[in-house]
Amino acid sequence: MKHIIYHSLNTCSKKIEFDLTDDQKIINLKFYHGCPGNLSAISKLVDGHNAKEIAQLLLGNKCGFRQTSCADQLAIAINGALDEKN
């Protein structure tokens, strides 16, 4: 298992932490700052699911006028962690 710490860019959430299991599942996801209701919901929805599938679902999601979102930043963090692992 690998613990990931990612510092978000251009979002209300400033940091994302999660664990990537040996079988590439996301667990223990936590966002720091941002919209508590939405981000805790995302954490519950992705817990125990395949990292690659989660990244594919969330990549490119925008927040309002921004070109990214907390969900998009999570996808970027996951893809980075998966690239490191391979």
CA atoms within 13 Å, Cβ hemisphere of 43: 16
Residue 8 to residue 41: CA distance in whole angstroms:
18
Q: Is the pTM above the cut of 0.85? A: yes
Domains belonging to the chain, first-starting first, are: 2-85 (3.90.1010)
Averages of pLDDT over runs of 10 residues in the chain (86 residues) are 97 97 98 95 97 98 95 98 85
Cβ pair 25, 49 in contact under 8 A: yes
Give strand pairing partners of 18: 4
